[in-house]
Amino acid sequence: MNDRTRRLVDDAIGTLCTATSVLVDRSSESSGYVSGTLCPDPDAGADVPCTLASLFDLASLTKLATTALLLSFVRERLVTLDTPLRELVPDFRGGAKDGVTLAQVLTHTAGLIWWLPLYQEVGSIEEAAWRAAQEPLARDPGTFVYSDLGYIMLTQGLANIGDAPFADLIRERVLEPTGAETARFLPDARDVCVATERYDAPDAYRARRLRGEVHDENAHAMGGISGHAGLFGTASDVLAIGRVFRDGAVIGNELAALARREHARGENARRGLGLALRAPDGPMVGRFMRQGTFGHTGFTGTSVWSDPASNTTVVLLTNRVYFGRANDDAMYRFRIAVHEALTAPGDG
């Protein structure tokens, strides 16, 4: 890990986040660096230094595991990418909904509303999937608008296909085969988890500092387990899950290559199957990761990006929501700076 990256990470502690773990992998040779502490707030348990074994709330990086699970079913011919979502989630039906495919869910072109406060109405996976299925389409299918709702419905739909609880399927078919050994829903050891946001108002939803429980409100209402958010893990876990799309683990090389191709495009956004692709001007990944770079980000300040041309993957985990949610721009700039420090010609 070069000195420039270390300085960037150290300088972010106390302002952008309290803990950071960064991992760069070049041709299967990995180097990691951590900085900060897990929870300066004494109300949420003991504060200890961040280590490579610390568990971060991965937020939407969970979608990578969900996509891998779905594509594993495609590989086994239990479904196809053209299978209508209503065949997995029978409550999702009527009008244009009947034609929405699994591929459109993965590419965020299903016409779904971008978000709903389901946590105000539901208390289980089944209730959340049902409520999401009742929501009218917000637009004609085919237009890219990022949405959690499709992945929320997949939580129940994939459990139906696999005839097992969603969390068990993720563990047995994705996490264990890829070697993501410590990634999990509902971590049982709170003291190794990196804290996130505090809800300060006495009457606020979850009026406490969050540590070891999922930050995403809708995932929390679903019992901490959802296809869109809920996994906790280390940078090494995220690197391992990424093997699905880099190396074809779990899904095979043909589906991995298909996932990495552009299937949808929005305003300065390109999407594969369950993947974000390097935008035309490459803002999220900096200047040096090339066309063909793919990955995902998470609301809590997490990301993974892989550049097949240089065989380089960068995992960046933070708890940027510890100090609140109004630091999106700062996180955006920090991510670019770290990527450029790690991928600039001659650096490493």
- Give the type of residue at 209: R
| pLDDT for the residue numbered 266 | 87
Q: Residues 246, 227: one domain?
A: yes
- Report the DSSP beta bridge partners of residue 298: 302
| pLDDT for the residue numbered 101 | 99
Q: Residues 179, 59: one domain?
A: yes
Q: Residues 56, 101: one domain?
A: no
Q: Residues 52, 122: one domain?
A: no
Q: Residues 228, 330: one domain?
A: yes
Residue 201 scores a pLDDT above 90: no
| pLDDT for the residue numbered 346 | 78
Residue 244 in tokens: 């699905």
Q: Residues 71, 54: one domain?
A: no
**Range from 52-66, 264-278, 280-294 carrying the lowest mean pLDDT:** 280-294
| pLDDT for the residue numbered 244 | 98
* Structural domain ending residue among the three candidates 165, 184, 214: 165
Residue 251 scores a pLDDT above 60: yes
- Give the type of residue at 182: T
Report the mean per-residue pLDDT for the chain: 96
Residue 44 in tokens: 């949420």
Ordered alpha helix ranges (H), 171-252: 176-178, 217-221, 235-241, 243-247
* Structural domain ending residue among the three candidates 134, 165, 196: 165
Residue 96 in tokens: 């244009």
Q: Residues 156, 78: one domain?
A: yes
The answer to whether position 115 is within a domain reads yes
Residue 335 scores a pLDDT above 90: yes
- Higher per-residue confidence, 234 vs 345: 234
Q: Residues 333, 315: one domain?
A: yes
The answer to whether position 95 is within a domain reads yes
Residue 342 scores a pLDDT above 70: yes
Range of 158's domain?
66-165
The answer to whether position 197 is within a domain reads yes
Residue 128 maps to which CATH number? 1.20.58
The answer to whether position 292 is within a domain reads yes
SS3 percent helix, strand, coil of the chain, rounded to 5, is 40, 15, 45
Residues 6+ apart with CB under 8 A from 5: 22, 33, 338, 341, 342
Mean pLDDT score, 34-62: 98
Residues 6+ apart with CB under 8 A from 60: 148, 228, 229, 296, 297, 298, 299, 302
Residue 126 in tokens: 């089944």
Q: Residues 39, 70: one domain?
A: no
Mean pLDDT score, 87-94: 98
The answer to whether position 348 is within a domain reads no
Residue 180 maps to which CATH number? 3.40.710.10
Q: 321 near 16, Cβ under 8 Å? A: no
Nearest to 155 by CA among 216, 200, 111: 216
Calculate ∠ Cα 266-272-274, nearest 5°: 105
The answer to whether position 234 is within a domain reads yes
> Could you count the other beta carbons within 10 Å of the beta carbon of residue 252?
15
What is the pairing mode between strands 269-271 and 264-266?
A: antiparallel
Q: Please tell me the distance from the alpha carbon of residue 249 to that of residue 180, in angstroms, as a whole number.
A: 12
Longest dimension (CA), the chain: 57
Residue 31 has phi, psi (to 5 degrees) of -135, 130
Q: Please tell me the distance from the alpha carbon of residue 261 to that of residue 228, in angstroms, as a whole number.
A: 21
| pLDDT for the residue numbered 282 | 64
Q: What DSSP string describes 286-306? A: -SSSPTT-EEEEETTTEEEEE
Residue 268: pLDDT band (50, 70, 90) is confident
Write out the E strands in 230-319.
232-233, 264-266, 269-271, 276-277, 294-298, 302-307, 312-318
Mean pLDDT score, 143-166: 98
Q: 128 near 218, Cβ under 8 Å? A: yes
The answer to whether position 87 is within a domain reads yes
Q: 315 near 190, Cβ under 8 Å? A: no
* Structural domain ending residue among the three candidates 150, 165, 180: 165
Q: Residues 305, 184: one domain?
A: yes
Q: Residues 150, 200: one domain?
A: no
- Report the domain count for the chain: 2
Residue 21 has phi, psi (to 5 degrees) of -130, 125
User: What's this model's pTM, rounded to 2 decimal places?
Assistant: 0.97
- Report the DSSP beta bridge partners of residue 26: 29, 312
Mean pLDDT score, 306-317: 97
- Give the type of residue at 92: F
Q: Please tell me the distance from the alpha carbon of residue 200 to that of residue 325, in angstroms, as a whole number.
A: 13
* Polymer length in residues for the chain: 348
The answer to whether position 157 is within a domain reads yes
Residue 9: pLDDT band (50, 70, 90) is very high
Q: Residues 115, 98: one domain?
A: yes
